Chain A
Amino acid sequence: MGNLKEFNVDGTVYTTELTKKFENRKPWIRPNPKHINSFIPGTIVEILVKEGQEVKEGENLMILEAMKMKNQIKMPFDGKIAKVYVTEGEKVPNRLLMVEIE
């Protein structure tokens, strides 16, 4: 038997091996509505807002180009831009924090 560990199923603790897939699973984090993350890896081709700027719901924040598509990243609700974490021309991975709203 390999590397045995304790493993709880419905209140009972079992001694068992774990799988790589199980150990590498991503813990779930409640999404923060004030964080705007990239939804696909790509390139930031244009940033249309500045930190401190008041922005209305639906206005464009930036253009994220991926798979030859220019995706408009829109403001989810009325608010003020707290911080912009990316710069024009930057290549971003998936799920990267790009903009924080106050």
Chain B
Amino acid sequence: MSLKRNILDLRKRKEKVLQGGGEKAIQKQVAMGKLTARERVTSILDEDSFHEYDMFVEHEARDFGMEKKELHGDGVIIGTGTIYGEPVCIFAQDFTVAGGSLGLMHARKITKIMDHALKMRVPLIGINDSGGARIQEGVNSLAGYGEIFFRNTLASGVIPQLSIILGPCAGGAVYSPALTDFVFVVENISKMFITGPEVIKTVLGEEITMEELGGAKVHSEITGNAHFYALSEYECFEQIKKLLTFIPWNNTKKAKAFPPKPPRPEYKIEEIVPSDPTQPYDIRNVIKSVVDDSDFFESMENFARNIVVGFGRMNGETVGFVANQPLVLAGVLDCDSSDKAARFIRYCNAFNIPIVTLEDMPGYLPGVDQEHMGVIRHGAKILYAYSEATVPKITVIIRKAYGGGYIAMNSRHMKADFMFAWPNAEIAVMGPDGAANIIFKKEIMAAADPEAMRKEKVAEYREKFANPYVAAAKGYIDTVIEPQETRNMLLHSIEVSSNKVDSRPAKKHGIPPF
């Protein structure tokens, strides 16, 4: 054969693979409201930047008539490309080929690109759309999952790992996304669960739809498995690209800096927070009043809303925000919010992102269910995450900082680098109402007018202890600032911290209260 004929032959071979599972299967995919695997990859990556590998891989199954079947690319696409001109590794399961089922070669393709991503220290983006293990391949299929999980764990904290759930992701398959840093879900398309509705019905008699069991809303609101929720695949791709502007390409780098911008004038910091500590407001407006261009990119927006986490920029540099949300459950700490915050703090620490903590928190959520769900061990995760973090850590106490929660929320004692408080901050063991009831119990009960006495004692306690100056007198707070100074103090303290050197004892690893 001449070279020309060889080239034509190559083109023909490629064309065949590009058809994926064929026209009928693609029509089915489209009818489900889904894009094809290739469309997804090219929509996420820079135009014409995708290069595919392992197109000609053939599957390994030799039983149950599978040897006669041709599965293009064995149901998964792998390759490299760029996003904003920076290199990434990507894989996308192709549901049109044997339902995206995972066989030995399918898994080998995924682990190949994972190894590549880790070696090249670039982000890994995985698109999950698969019916699960390829049953005809037996234990080889299970082994494939195991190899993927192991690599997810090796790469954790070294390169960013993003999982995009664009179809079913059931059984063992769910654990790869669960091991990655950020999980993206799309309404009506994403479905994640360990055991499906059919099994649940047969075994337990409980009837539930896939959407109710493990749909996008469930994972973004109830389970906390998903970080970003979108209404369409395209919105999801925009979220992925936006996230990538905030995070570094690996753990030895800093996130890309952008030109500094002031916050938008409509966010007036002094007008957001009511002085009465029992009244609600949206803490996200405080974040927007200090970050560049008031652009705050929130993660896990709908899960454990009593705490807010996400990224913003200050003078063009990425900062991670952790903030109590007085608008929801008064901003209490509980099992879910502790999990959410602790994981985010560890992400920031692993990827060299300074952490700003905004505190307005009345304590822990009381209740038998919280205690029995283990609020002790969950709450301990926040203490652990802040204590082990060595990135610049700055706290601003906006209003309430009561009890153990004050210590947990990146206090001086968790080795915060800078501790600021607004003049209306109340740093105390508990709120004045609760404290007065305990300290002055006898006086209140003995008084002719107990309610008047109670009010008097609450005021007395507030005057004496519910302010920032008792903590400032001991140096636990570095300075009390006016609200409008907040952005400048944050900018300055981040700048001062830019060459921060801090270390922890050498160890194999700690034992966080997982």
Contact = CB atoms under 8 A, between A and B. Distances in A.
Q: Please name the 4 residue pairs, one residue from A and one from B, whose CB atoms are nearest each other, closest first.
A: A11-B434, A14-B330, A12-B431, A28-B368
Interface of A: 1, 4, 7, 9-22, 25-26, 28, 40-42, 66-67, 91, 93-94
Given A1-B282, A11-B430, A11-B434, 15 more contacts: A1-B327, A12-B431, A13-B278, A14-B330, A16-B326, A16-B327, A16-B329, A16-B330, A17-B328, A28-B368, A41-B204, A41-B205, A42-B204, A66-B203, A94-B204
Interface residues of B, number: 38
A41 B432 CA distance: 47
Interface in B278-323: 278-280, 282, 304-306
A25 B369 contact: yes
B278 A15 contact: yes
B206 interface: yes
A46 B185 CA distance: 45
Interface stretch (B78-86, B120-128, B359-367, B407-415): B359-367
Nearest to B432: A12
A42 B278 CA distance: 47
Contacts of A66: 203-204
B460 to A, nearest CB: 15
A64 B402 CA distance: 49
Nearest to B403: A10
B437 to A, nearest CB: 5
Interface in B352-393: 362-363, 365-369, 372
Contact of A17 (B204, B280, B365): B280
Contact of B329 (A13, A17, A42, A94): A17
A22 B337 CA distance: 12
Nearest to A9: B362
B332 interface: yes
A41 B330 CA distance: 37
A12 B469 CA distance: 22
B222 interface: yes
A62 B221 CA distance: 40
Which interface residue of A19, A20, A91, A94 has the most chain B CB atoms within 10 A?
Answer: A19
Contacts of B430: 10-11
